[in-house]
Amino acid sequence: MKFNLGEWRMKPGVTTYNCEQIRQVRLSDDGRELSLFVVPYRKEERSMDGPAQQIVISSPQPDMIRLQTVHFKGDRRKYPKFDILDTRVPLQVQEEGNEVTVTSGNTRLVIQKKNPCGFTYYYGSRKLTNIGSRYGSAMLSYISTPEGPYMRGQLQVDVGEKIYGLGERFTPFVRNGQVVDMWNEDGGTSSELSYKNIPFYLSSRNYGVLVNETGPVSFEVCSEAVTKVQFSVPGQRLDFIVIGAPDRKGVLTRYTGLTGRPALPPAWTFGLWLTSSFTTSYDEKTVTEFVDGMAKRDIPLSVFHFDCFWMRENEWCGFDWDTEMFPDVEGMLKRMHDKGLKICVWINPYLGQKCSVFDEAAEKGYLLKKPNGDIWQWDLWQAGLAVVDFTNPEAVEWYKGHLRRLMRQGVDCFKTDFGERIPTDVVYHDGSDPVWMHNYYTYLYNKAVFEVIQEVKGEREACLFARSATVGGQKYPVHWGGDCNSTYVSMSESLRGGLGLCLSGFGFWSHDIGGFEGTAPADLYKRWLAFGLLGSHSRLHGSTSYRVPWLFGEEAVDVCRYFTKLKNTLMPYLYDQAVQTHETGVPMMRAMLLEFDDLGCEDCDRQYMLGDGILVAPVMREDGTVDYYLPQGRWTHLLTGETVEGGGWRKGQYDFFSLPVYVRENTILPVGANEKQTEYDYAQGLTLRLYNLADGTQAERRVCDTHGKTLLTARACRSGDVITLRLSGKTDSVSIQQIGTDCRIRIEQ
């Protein structure tokens, strides 16, 4: 929301009341809250007029400082709250003269009470940011507008500082200069709209900010005020948390410690997923031909996904199979299980009026209603569509009951599509404000589905394939990038969106290989295969046409086989990275700036680190050329073994069986012996590749089993021409391969 007309004037009818003086400071008896009474004037005499702000400062966890400010307390609307772990740690407060210092861990807030009023954040001695001032006023504001009241905060952005995150956005990777509104929409991947709006941003200066509001937060990122991140919400209150850390990974670790760490997906989810695609004509014969065709061509397959048309026309999502197309559901799913496949089916949180369960849901009050008591309906997507009310515990249990029935038939997981088109002219069962519920709805939807899978299949077997999200949604992986086009440009925008999401607390991300809308030409399909199979999760899916590789030529079959098998052999490495993501919140697919404090990495949005050791730069041009950046150090091409020196940009041309995929120096890369499956004994027949260990350096790697428990730990250090390798755990069939160095290896167990 913009309130100014340039530097000097406000928009017509807009009046701003900034923080001018803190007139009272009070620490609670338990030392966990500091209350401030703030007035919008500088005069010293007592006044009877407002408006004033009442601010409460607390620390939900060490190194986090939360600021909640309110104008009028009398708003009795019910607002949904993000599910954060607020332990309210005691504050260290020191008041001396005009200054109050609030400390949590190594993060502190220095408050200047007047002349001028100010709020400055530090991590140790390093300044993070401050609440931006204008002519001595701290821009923490109550604002009166013709549209109603707003609350606003402005945090200073320093010279060269860059802002990232705010969810899965397909606009430029660096958010500086953008207007970003937190409002989930089904908008595809080629506009400013987003399926996953996360009001959290990460600064290149190693701090993060969560605006702790589920409603329509509006960010002006160096746009209305070019030296500030401005965030505003309609109403009378504002709540935000500044998170300090020594580095960018540390920010994400702290943030996900607050909002929830990603669950550990089952190992089978990392294999290749094949879907029926969004097509109207498929049955068991079609599905069997796809599955058997992959096996015949020696392409390992882990999951088969049934998209929308497993149900009858206009009955989405009524949970009933189309028995004309699938007359023997349980038998069919058993036959697919016998082939070693897991089964996923498409669902959404809506009910078409024609489906068999609509009347029951309507009668029992499980659907969102209009203020007059009528069920809210429209004809978009499905005729007479209504929306399940996940604030009603009985509706949640009813919805879960239908999913239990599907899982008893043989379904293993669900693609939780939609959740963005949520109306605001409705009444919720629990009385929640419908505007503030719009984005939060997806959290309740995906939470319910994830929980029922955990209940039926076990905690370690739960997995979604979700499209919409908000803060906390990372706890329920995996998320995919939505409806991208079948173009090179859309491949690029998809990666850009995924990197932004992974800088917003999400650990696992996927996309539709080959693009969703339209049908990719063969060259694009093959390039996207390499990209998609060098990520956390890999799915062949699209609209209007099938995505099996033989429809794109025999070379596409070979490319699909090659990269699928490559990924399977990398599972000892990939699953360790997944466990690390589960433990720390640091994503598997990492923007370069997470791993390297290097100016050259701050704008990189066409390449990424796959875990801590492998760099991937997908080919996004028809001529096969790629521009990519290698940070300082020695890098070895994973596929060719060629070692090059980093420290700048490079350009290369690649065939369909290659791309820039480099292993970082001082990396121990565990490579498995099984190219057919994702679930196997990762330590059996394992090869540990030691890449370019430099003199005086150390490297460490663990190998986990498919439940996340450590099987083997390898620690290597080089001194002169000797590498000492210490192995513990299951080491009976491990072989060692040295790459880029010529040293004597001494093994200790």
Catalytic annotation, residues: 417, 420, 483
The arrangement of strands across the sheet holding 342-347 comes to 413-416, 342-347, 303-306, 272-275, 538-540, 512-513
Distance CA 268, CA 478 (A): 13
Structure tokens at 247: 């580095």
* CA-closest candidate to residue 612, choices 642, 650, 573: 573
Structure tokens at 629: 């950046």
Q: What 3-state DSSP class applies to 274?
A: strand
Q: How many Cβ atoms from other residues are within 10 Å of residue 42's Cβ? A: 13
Helix (H) or strand (E) holding 258: helix 248-259
Q: What 3-state DSSP class applies to 435?
A: helix
Distance CA 196, CA 509 (A): 12
Q: With helix as H, strand as E and coil as C, how does 16-74 read?
A: EEEECEEEEEEECCCCCCEEEEEECCCCCCCCCCCCCEEEEEECCCCCEEEEEEECCCC
* CA-closest candidate to residue 656, choices 523, 542, 518, 543: 523
CB 79 within 8 A of CB 92: no
* CA-closest candidate to residue 274, choices 512, 527, 568, 528: 512
CB 428 within 8 A of CB 391: yes
In the chain, the amino acid numbered 476 is: Y
CB 392 within 8 A of CB 399: no
CA distances from residue 632 to 620, 640, 650, 690 in whole angstroms, order as listed: 24, 20, 13, 18
Judge residue 106's burial from the number of C-beta atoms within 10 Å of its C-beta, 0-12 exposed, 13-18 middle, 19 or more buried: middle
DSSP assignments along 543-581, one per residue: BSS---GGGG-HHHHHHHHHHHHHHHHTHHHHHHHHHHH
Distance CA 15, CA 98 (A): 28
Helix (H) or strand (E) holding 152: strand 148-156
DSSP assignments along 379-407, one per residue: -SSSTTBEEB-TTSHHHHHHHHHHHHHHH
Task: Kindly report the backbone phi and psi dihedral angles of residue 577, in degrees, each rounded to the nearest multiple of 5, phi listed first.
Answer: -65, -40
CA angle 384, 387, 389 (to 5 degrees): 150
Distance CA 45, CA 674 (A): 79
**Cis peptide bond N-terminal to 116, omega within 30:** yes
Q: How many Cβ atoms from other residues are within 10 Å of residue 62's Cβ? A: 15
Q: How many Cβ atoms from other residues are within 10 Å of residue 150's Cβ? A: 22
Name 333's Cβ contacts closer than 8 Å, sequence gap at least 6.
Answer: 343, 409, 410, 411
Any long-range contacts for 43-51 (C-beta under 8 Å, 24+ apart)? 51/17, 51/142
Helix (H) or strand (E) holding 251: helix 248-259
DSSP code of residue 485: B
